[in-house]
Structure 1
Amino acid sequence: MTASPRPHDHHSAQEPPAARGLSRRRFAATSTGLAAVLALAACGADSGSDAAGDPSGSGAAASSSSGTTPTVRVTPAADTTMVDPTAAVVVATDAGKLTDVTVTASTSGEKARGALKEDGTEWRSEGALAFDETYTVAWTARNGDRESTGQSVFSTVDAAHEADVSMNVRDGETYGVWQVVELNFSEPVTNKDAIEKAVTVEGAHKDGAFRWYSDQKLRFRPRDPWTPKSTVKVSANILGKDLGNGMIGNGNKTVTFTTGPEQRAYVDNNTKTLVAYVDGKESGTWPVTLGDAEWPSTTGKKVILEQAASYKFNAGSLHLKPGDSHYYPPFDASNVSRLTWSGEFVHQALPSAYSVLGVANVSHGCVGMPPEGASYIYNTFRPGDMVEVVNTNYPQADPDDGLGDWNIPFEHYKDENWHGNW
């Protein structure tokens, strides 16, 4: 849904930080000495043997005729690859009891946790195994005087098929009530319905919806702004989930954040003012300058993405060079609140623009303010608060050029093909 490039403001068109994948271990499977025993544990295969002194040592049976030699079955079967680490390892015998079962990681030497049924006929692993790891399953089963021993090997999903998820909200932080939650997946998602069901959002809202902006970018917004001064918990339970194309989620992620007061600013090009509101009450009005005729400010509802006390603006990021009519030397803007990734900000205007505040538009798309106004927005507002710009006679910013999701009517939000005034 990326729109064609449009002129924007001082800084480079920065994309939001890329989703950072979790650390992935790449281990070489250790197989030396195992070739002779791999066939023993195929799912449903008989691991018992009536031949005493089995030279392989994998199916030795007691010579006594008392009882039946146990047959042991293992899931996953011997030599299986790309096993889902969340799937249980099951070892079962059809006679007697299992007396010893171990599932050992070849690289780390760690043993999987597991439990034996009361009657001793089945052992089942508990908890997830590691990704990109080779495991050896070893067992002993006894029925009367007869005993079976054996082992088999399998490997879990490799690093090339792991998938991570990251979010644009951080645990323990406070955001404005207009914050949109974004989840970024390290691999393309084709099983979108299943992944939506794996994501839960609890607290501070009555209704909400998902919208996919690409196969790797999913957003959630409530129908109405979050309840002020409340708690929101977002859980992406993708461990072991199939994202599609053989990609398996390698971990869950949960983030809990709080919301602040309801804060928004209303910027009107007709009056060239910014009016700030906190919990519905006007808290300040300041004159502004917006984008000029060649670099107009986009309209619509824009959520503050990030803030900085100082931020370097460079005309070169707009492909302007010395001698161009709109070129300006690099400078450090003060009290900056970013509205779009492509370069619209609320910030303190340069002293040379003070005389036109409230009178004329001279910026490259930004909302330029007097020092006291920019300072108020920077110190009072936070990421997740709203700045709405009207009457510039220019379209809205593309919704994913920032968090412009509030420009989409809620009844159309789930329809990723619905297009508004951008």
Structure 2
Amino acid sequence: MEHPHSGLSRDAWTRRSFVTVGALGTVTLAACSTSSENAAESEVSPSTTSATPSPTPEKEFAGTVEVYPALGEVEINPVEKVTVTSPDSTLTDVTVTTPEGAELAGELSDDGSVWTSTDNMLFHSDYTVSWQAADAEGTAGEGESTFSTVTSPYEADVIVNVTDGSTYGIGRILQFNFSEPVLNKAEVEKRIKITGGGDQAGKFRWYNDYMARYRPADKWATNSTITLNIDLFGLDIGNGMIGNHNTALSFNTWNKRYALADNLTKTIKIYVDDVLVRENPITLGNAEWPSVVGELPIMEKSESYYFNPTSLELEEDDEYYYEPFWASWTARLTSGGVFVHQALPTAWSSVGVYNVSHGCIGMLPEDAKFFYNTFGVGDIVETVNTGYPQADPDDGYGDWNIPFEHYSDSSWVGNW
């Protein structure tokens, strides 16, 4: 950034007009005669005018005062410092205010030559800078100027997919959604600090200019706390879009919960803290809709969820069309519609024997309820041996299927 005072017009200072008036001189008028008589008869006294005192000129302020931002400047970054500077005068008072009366804090240097703001400004606000100063001769001067900060069209914010104080499974992937495209990705990454959860090395992966994710090398530590400090206020993320907030939040993890669904055995094994606690029969995706493989954290849960075949672009005359229904004990694995849930009554005879679902993992009622009550958002469900690829990593949170050494390389493509 160039020096804040370079190329700036100086703020006008007040000058008082004055007029200099000269003293009036004394004028003597005399009448002359050719005879003594005439002289005697016509002798008169001299005529005079009195002098008027000259007014004292008022001194004008002879100092130099510079204000940054300059008069009329717009779209000023709120992290910029407001400065009022004089190389030859002493500043006696400086105030910076909004129309609402909010005053910007600042400090005056010991020699009175520089005033500097000490707080960040507000977005989309007008500021008025008012100053008073005395020049080397002690003559007072004053000035005023206005400028405005970044307006709403140039603000940028970010939303993260965890809630402060909440608890998740150890497979929770962090996702950052930006309101504006991020071009300065490396700078944004530097402004996001993630600590705790085992304090492992971690990496970002950018899926597009609006969305990035973060994961550690391995799953988060169990029963731990992870803290995020997102410091984007005043950062130009690209195209002049300025971050408008800082965020600090923490979330927790519970113990380890992991499920392995195997198409060869048509079973799902449920582990808690690496101990097998239950093994249930399942039905997976049929030949037309095979189940994806790989590790997928649970995205959301609901005791019931409305399944509509139109979400899969299935019409009534389609071979794989099904009547819409409310599924029970649901846990979502992909945005595209892969769930763990209770199978429909018409499919119960197929559970553990045949695959009849549209890609979901179906269970008998008691088994589905046990799974629902044991697993939560962020817990991992891994599916194997279906002969089908993985889900795209952004269809859900398939980030654990990307080798850590390739995670930051958004061009790297795996088995999906």
Q: When the two structures are superposed, what TM-score results if normalisation uses the length of structure 1?
A: 0.84
Q: Which of the residues 241, 253, 262 maps onto 1:247?
A: 241
Cα displacement (A) at 1:235: 1.8
Q: Which of the residues 98, 118, 123 maps onto 2:115?
A: 123
Residue of structure 2 equivalent to 1:14: none
* Structure 1: gaps spanning 5 or more residues: 1-40, 55-61
2:254 is aligned with 1:290? no
* Distance in 2 separating the partners of 1:344 and 1:387: 11
Cα displacement (A) at 1:69: 3.3
* Distance in 2 separating the partners of 1:84 and 1:75: 12
Contact 1:266 1:387 in 2 (8 A): yes
Residue of structure 2 equivalent to 1:193: 186
Look up the SS of the partner of 2:208 in the other structure.
coil
Cα displacement (A) at 1:64: 4.5
Residue of structure 2 equivalent to 1:331: 325
* Distance in 1 separating the partners of 2:11 and 2:332: 66
- Write the deviation string for residues 102-135 of structure 1: whole angstroms up to 9, x where unpaired: 11223x3322122222332222112221111221
* Distance in 1 separating the partners of 2:131 and 2:103: 13
Q: Which of the residues 150, 156, 177 maps onto 2:149?
A: 156
* Distance in 1 separating the partners of 2:334 and 2:398: 9
* Structure 2: gaps spanning 5 or more residues: 1-5, 19-56
* Distance in 1 separating the partners of 2:165 and 2:300: 16
Matches for 1:178-217 after TM superposition, within 5 Å = 178-204=171-197, 205-217=199-211
Contact 2:64 2:89 in 1 (8 A): no
- Write the deviation string for residues 385-419 of structure 1: whole angstroms up to 9, x where unpaired: 10000000000000000100000000000100000
Residue of structure 2 equivalent to 1:63: 58
* Distance in 1 separating the partners of 2:337 and 2:237: 33
Cα displacement (A) at 1:230: 0.5
Cα displacement (A) at 1:83: 0.7
- 124-133 vs 173-182, which moves further: 124-133
Q: Which of the residues 380, 395, 399 maps onto 1:401?
A: 395
Residue of structure 1 equivalent to 2:24: none
2:62 is aligned with 1:73? no
Q: Which amino acid aligns with 2:122?
A: A
Residue of structure 1 equivalent to 2:335: 341
Contact 2:9 2:71 in 1 (8 A): no
Q: Percent identity among equivalent residues?
A: 48
Report the aligned-residue RMSD: 1.8
* Distance in 2 separating the partners of 1:373 and 1:203: 35
Look up the SS of the partner of 2:284 in the other structure.
coil
Residue of structure 1 equivalent to 2:232: 238
* Distance in 2 separating the partners of 1:102 and 1:53: 26
Contact 1:47 1:71 in 2 (8 A): no
Residue of structure 2 equivalent to 1:45: 10
* Distance in 1 separating the partners of 2:286 and 2:12: 80
Contact 2:393 2:401 in 1 (8 A): yes
- Write the deviation string for residues 164-208 of structure 1: whole angstroms up to 9, x where unpaired: 100011111101111110101000011111111111101113211
- 153-162 vs 341-350, which moves further: 153-162
Q: Which amino acid aligns with 2:113?
A: T
Aligned residues: 371
Q: Which amino acid aligns with 2:133?
A: A
Q: Which of the residues 135, 149, 158 maps onto 1:165?
A: 158
- Write the deviation string for residues 301-330 of structure 1: whole angstroms up to 9, x where unpaired: 111001111111011222222232222221
Residue of structure 1 equivalent to 2:255: 261
* Distance in 2 separating the partners of 1:325 and 1:211: 39
Q: Which of the residues 362, 386, 394 maps onto 1:392?
A: 386
* Distance in 1 separating the partners of 2:17 and 2:399: 71
Contact 2:11 2:71 in 1 (8 A): no
Contact 1:42 1:74 in 2 (8 A): no
Cα displacement (A) at 1:44: 6.1
2:307 is aligned with 1:307? no
Q: Which amino acid aligns with 1:162?
A: E
Q: Which amino acid aligns with 1:347?
A: H
Matches for 1:212-227 after TM superposition, within 5 Å = 212-227=206-221
Q: Which of the residues 353, 365, 370 maps onto 1:371?
A: 365
* Distance in 2 separating the partners of 1:324 and 1:396: 25
* Distance in 2 separating the partners of 1:322 and 1:210: 43
Q: Which of the residues 96, 106, 109 maps onto 1:114?
A: 106
Contact 1:262 1:278 in 2 (8 A): yes
* Distance in 1 separating the partners of 2:186 and 2:93: 42
Look up the SS of the partner of 2:366 in the other structure.
helix
Contact 1:337 1:347 in 2 (8 A): yes
Residue of structure 1 equivalent to 2:316: 322
Contact 1:162 1:249 in 2 (8 A): yes
Look up the SS of the partner of 1:213 in the other structure.
strand
Contact 2:220 2:253 in 1 (8 A): yes
Contact 1:163 1:187 in 2 (8 A): yes
Look up the SS of the partner of 1:135 in the other structure.
strand
* Distance in 1 separating the partners of 2:188 and 2:113: 36
Q: Which amino acid aligns with 2:183?
A: T
Contact 1:85 1:131 in 2 (8 A): yes
